[in-house]
Amino acid sequence: MSKGLEIRLASRPKGWPTLENFDIVEVEAPQPGDGELLVRNLLMSVDPYMRGRMSAAKSYTPPYEIGKAMEGGAVGEVVASNAEGFQPGDIVRHLRGWRDYAVVGAKQATKVDPQAAPLSTYLYVLGMPGMTAYVGLVDVAEQKEGDVVFISGAAGAVGSLAGQIAKLRGASRVIGSAGSAEKVRYLLDEVGFDAAFNYHDGPVAEQLNAAAPDGIDVYFDNVGGEHLEAAIDALNDFGRVAECGMISQYNIAEPEPGPRNMFMLVAKRLRLEGFIVGDRAHLKDQFVAEVGGWLREGKINYRETVVDGLRNAPEAFLGLMRGDNIGKMLVKIA
Ligand code: NDP
């Protein structure tokens, strides 16, 4: 019988999460039932939405339970199968990360081809973050050719892809903000943003106005707070905001007042729409065809920040919150 680790939620954070909120426990590998697979996880994703699930607050996904293993996107190898269509050796993507061994219902597992692309692709460019960037721009913000697009959290997984997709779909100018000089250089030199700034260097509004003297048409918001206020100010008439995330608000203990300039939504006829990628599954084939094509043609630049070892997954998650990552933050399990 194999043993493995699992990471459990030990307590709910108040404000910033810490290592104390996690428990690392050794357990026997579970037994798959009828229609289930036993998967040995190889790679897992840590994502900002997990911060929401560590809280008790009601949201679009249920809170993690205290004392139980956490969950999230992962890729692993099937080691035993009680389900038709799956065999030991198959590589699958599923939602039971945060553990070495996972029992996964066959319906919740998607076979992926490790020959076609590196495993990380299925958790990044062709996985949830890629799809988020794509649907946010194409479906929510209805980005058009010639638009000036501003993206916050631009050096992260979603943001760096959103910038490239905007450009590939004909944006006239793509501007990004991120939290360090190294990230700004990455955006300008490697990812192809037309302008980028470090939001720690001065007020966002000033830096955004300097980068977008003629205003912006689309704002892809990953951050909220000061960034959102600055973007509302800079948006041109009939501008659109894809409200993807507000990471500046995830770790604050008390809610902060929102943008002070919401009245501009009326005068400028702006549209601001929140979205959750899971609701846009009907665009999956379109996403895979378009972004998969660019990926094969070598038109997508992607970086990964890989933390080694399941034991270090809590630290990887905290690092993601602090901004330690360029591109996608991943944890290599085996
Ligand atoms: P990232 O790879 O972008 O990692 C998070 C980044 O957020 C950090 O690297 C850090 O970079 C930045 N950050 C942290 N705190 C702040 C702050 N106070 N102000 C500004 N930036 C901050 O994560 P993802 O790409 O996975 O997610 C990006 C956003 O998209 C998140 O808001 C997430 O919740 C959202 N999301 C939404 C989905 C949906 O369906 N709506 C699906 C997936 C993600 P820096 O150094 O620049 O500060």
136 and 54 in a common domain: no
Band the pLDDT of 255: cuts 50, 70, 90: confident
Q: What are φ and ψ of residue 147, in 5° steps?
A: -65, 145
Q: Is residue 180 part of a domain?
A: yes
Report the pLDDT value the prediction gives residue 291, as an integer from 0 to 100.
98
Residue 145 lies in a domain: yes
On whether residue 38 sits in a domain, the answer given is: yes
Give me the pLDDT at residue 188, please.
98
Whole-number pLDDT of residue 127? 98
Gap between the Cα atoms of 167 and 190, Å rounded: 13
Question: What value does the mean pLDDT of the chain take?
Answer: 97
**CATH number of the domain encompassing residue 169:** 3.40.50.720
CA of 79 from ligand 1 middle (Å) equals 34
Query: 323 CA to middle of ligand 1, Å?
Result: 8
Is residue 112, in this structure, part of any structural domain at all? yes
Q: Which atom of ligand 1 is nearest to the CA of 52?
A: 34
- Classify residue 19: in a domain, yes or no: yes
pLDDT confidence of residue 211: 98
Q: Which atom of ligand 1 is nearest to the CA of 276?
A: 40
Atom of ligand 1 at shortest range from CA of 322: 14
Q: How confident is the model at residue 64 (pLDDT cuts 50, 70, 90)?
A: very high
For ligand 1, the distance from its centroid to the CA atom of residue 130, given in whole angstroms, is: 13
Same domain, 188 and 259: yes
* % of residues, the chain, pLDDT over 70: 100
133 and 243 in a single domain? The answer is yes
Centroid of ligand 1 to alpha carbon of 93 (angstroms): 22
pLDDT over 80 (residue 308)? yes
Kindly provide the ipTM of the predicted complex, given to two decimals: 0.99
**Residue 291 falls within a domain, yes or no?**
no
Closest atom, ligand 1, to C-alpha of 327: 2
Structural domain including 144 reads 128-279
- Helix/strand/coil (H/E/C) assignment for every residue in the chain: CCEEEEEEECCCCCCCCCHHHEEEEEEECCCCCCCEEEEEEEEEECCCHHHHHCCCCCCCCCCCCECCECCECEEEEEEEECCCCCCCCCEEEECECCECEEEEEHHHCEECCCCCCCHHHHHCCCCHHHHHHHHHHHHHCCCCCCCEEEECCCCEHHHHHHHHHHHHCCCCEEEEEECCHHHHHHHHHHHCCCEEEECCCCCHHHHHHHHCCCCEEEEEECCCCHHHHHHHHHEEEEEEEEECCCHHHCCCCCCCCCCCCCCHHHHCCCEEEECCHHHHHHHHHHHHHHHHHHHHCCCCCCCEEEEECHHHHHHHHHHHHHCCCCEEEEEECC
Ligand 1 site residues (CB inside 6 A) read 47-49, 129, 132, 153, 155-159, 178-180, 183, 222-223, 244-245, 247-248, 275-277, 320-321, 323, 325, 329
Residues 113 and 34 in one domain: yes
Residues 195-243: tens digit of each pLDDT: 999 999 999 999 999 999 999 999 999 999 999 999 999 999 999 999 9
Identify whether residues 47 and 113 lie together within a single domain: yes
| Residues 208 and 232 placed together within one structural domain of the fold | yes
Structural domain total, the chain = 2
Distance 51 CA to ligand 1 centre (A): 11
Does one domain contain both 95 and 144? Answer: no
Q: Tell me, what's the pLDDT at 251?
A: 96
What integer is the mean pLDDT of 300-306? 97
Mark whether 320 and 191 lie in a shared domain: no
Together in a domain, 270 and 143: yes
Centroid of ligand 1 to alpha carbon of 128 (angstroms):
13
Residue nearest to atom 10 of ligand 1 (CA): 323
d(CA 32, CA 110): 17
What is the model's pLDDT at position 187? 98
Supply the CATH number for residue 113's domain: 3.90.180.10
1: pLDDT strictly greater than 80: no
Q: Is residue 288 part of a domain?
A: no
The answer, yes or no, to whether residue 182 has pLDDT greater than 90, is yes
Is residue 163 scored above 90 in pLDDT? yes
Task: Classify residue 89: in a domain, yes or no.
Answer: yes
Tens of pLDDT, residue by residue over 132-147, are 999 999 999 999 999 9
